[in-house]
Structure 1
Amino acid sequence: MSESIKIDIWSDIACPWCYIGKRKFETGAAAFAEKAGADAPDVTIEYHSYELAPDTPVDFDGSEIDFLSTHKGMPADQVKGMLDNVAGIARATGLDYNFDTLKHTNTVKAHQLLHYAKTHGKQVEAKERLLKAYFTEGRHVGRIEDVADLAAEIGLDRDDVIRSLSADEHLDAVRADQALGQAYGIQGVPFFVIDGKYGVSGAQEAETFAQVLDQVWTEREAAHA
């Protein structure tokens, strides 16, 4: 088997397109693996922190429509139409978004959990759990106790997570991710860096991700021929 292909993904837990992009990438990676067969390289994923609205309070008093109307200066009806459209696209990828129960919040503690989870080999699981909690279950992902509850559900030590988040143990790693994203010129998420050389911006179709992975693999095979 070839050396694994590394995927670095900048995203935010509060980004609806990031969850959609996650599913589309997973579908594309599966299609690539099926096409490549037994010789397919592993695809390893690392998530990097990006905050869409770092000034958001932990306990925002209002709905998602309220937040976006204020934050983007858009009429509420227009925001509702936009969210309905996004929810429809999410459904097409198998995701059940529920904007009516979504609790808008600051995501910096959730990002710290992703770095904590990475040190315990559970970052991908943590990312999925946080996104599902936020977009489909109406769970709070901004407060330490709530984030720790979600961490425990994927097998992490709840008390140690509380200790880590309370001490901002991984805040420097979050800021380092953000600085690297700025250095790359990333201005929106999701943003995928594939094998350190190809950048894919946005929640592209699964076929696009499959094609890029195939291109990387083909180039590697040619280089070693």
Structure 2
Amino acid sequence: MQLEVWSDIVCPWCYLGKRRLEEALGQFAHADEVKVVWRSFQLDPSYPKGQPRPVPEALAEKLGASPARVAAMQGHVTALAAEVGLDYHLDKSIMANTFDAHRLTHLAREYGRGAELHERLMLANLVEAENVDDADTLVRLAAEVGVPAEAARRVLAGDEYAADVEADIRQARAFGANGVPFFVLDRRYGISGAQPTEAFLAALKQAHQDSATGAGTAAAR
């Protein structure tokens, strides 16, 4: 079974969804048959590169919300994340363009470290309040998971893997995804949002059963 996951590195719901999915896989009898593939997505592709801002400030402006309202929103997802062991510090997190970070995840895949870099980048932004639009930071984080620093710098200096990121985003749109996290099992079943662990487990069981019997529908829409 192939499980594709579209997410953005700066998306707190995506990291929460990742942990819930991992919990489900831990309870799934056929987890060793599931290949998880991480796909790129940008929640806000228009956000300018090289202009990091505190997330609370940027959200208040974008949503026209008061600081108290933003704090409440962030507090809600922070509490949910804590239930799966994530220690968010969203009040200190940095809004950043994630296109280059996503390009690096495609480079990391070449070294068999794509999932590891995706995890490290989420941790860096949502827990450690690092700027994932800073080249030196990205190179350091990539090196931490086994991606050669020189290769990371080369990619960041050019446009390698840009087409791969764009292709991932187009595919998500073709499946009808307007936001993330978005999960697709065997290109037949789509799951939107950071669903409860039980929902992921049920979907995994159904997809496995249908795969074994040849049942199921065509690609997710």
> Following the alignment from structure 1 to structure 2, what is the Cα–Cα distance between the partners of residues 94 and 173?
31
Structure 2 residue aligned with 1:29: 25
Contact residue 52 and residue 131 of structure 2 kept, 8 A: no
1:166 maps to 2:173: no
Q: What's the secondary structure of 1:7's corresponding residue? A: strand
| Equivalent residue for 2:131, pick from 134, 140, 147 | 140
Contact residue 65 and residue 79 of structure 1 kept, 8 A: yes
1:24 partner amino acid: R
| Equivalent residue for 1:212, pick from 185, 199, 203 | 203
| Equivalent residue for 1:186, pick from 146, 153, 177 | 177
Q: What's the secondary structure of 2:21's corresponding residue? A: helix
Distance 1:79 1:154, change over 3 A: same
Deviation at 1:59, TM superposition (A): 4.1
Deviation at 1:68, TM superposition (A): 0.4
Structure 2 residue aligned with 1:107: 98
Structure 2 residue aligned with 1:93: 84
1:130 maps to 2:121: yes
Deviation at 1:46, TM superposition (A): 1.1
Q: Percent identity?
A: 36
Q: Please give the per-residue CA displacement for 1:182-211, whole angstroms capped at 9, x wherever unaligned.
A: 111111100000111000000001111111
After TM superposition, the structure 1 = structure 2 runs for residues 25-64 of structure 1, keeping only pairs within 5 Å, are: 25-33=21-29, 36=30, 41-60=32-51, 62-64=53-55
2:14 partner amino acid: C
Structure 2 residue aligned with 1:154: 145
Unaligned runs of 5+ in 1: none
Count, aligned residues: 215
1:200 partner amino acid: I
> Following the alignment from structure 1 to structure 2, what is the Cα–Cα distance between the partners of residues 41 and 124?
16
| Equivalent residue for 1:203, pick from 194, 199, 202 | 194
> Following the alignment from structure 2 to structure 1, what is the Cα–Cα distance between the partners of residues 155 and 92?
28
Q: Please give the per-residue CA displacement for 1:146-178, whole angstroms capped at 9, x wherever unaligned.
A: 111000001110011110121110111111111
Deviation at 1:221, TM superposition (A): 2.6
TM-score, length-normalised on structure 2? 0.92
> Following the alignment from structure 1 to structure 2, what is the Cα–Cα distance between the partners of residues 107 and 17?
16
Q: What's the secondary structure of 1:68's corresponding residue? A: helix
Structure 1 residue aligned with 2:10: 14
> Following the alignment from structure 1 to structure 2, what is the Cα–Cα distance between the partners of residues 92 and 179?
33
Off by >6 Å, runs of 4+ in structure 1 = none
Over aligned residue pairs, what C-alpha RMSD do you find?
A: 1.5
TM-score, length-normalised on structure 1? 0.91
> Following the alignment from structure 2 to structure 1, what is the Cα–Cα distance between the partners of residues 148 and 177?
33
> Following the alignment from structure 1 to structure 2, what is the Cα–Cα distance between the partners of residues 24 and 164?
32
Distance 1:61 1:41, change over 3 A: closer
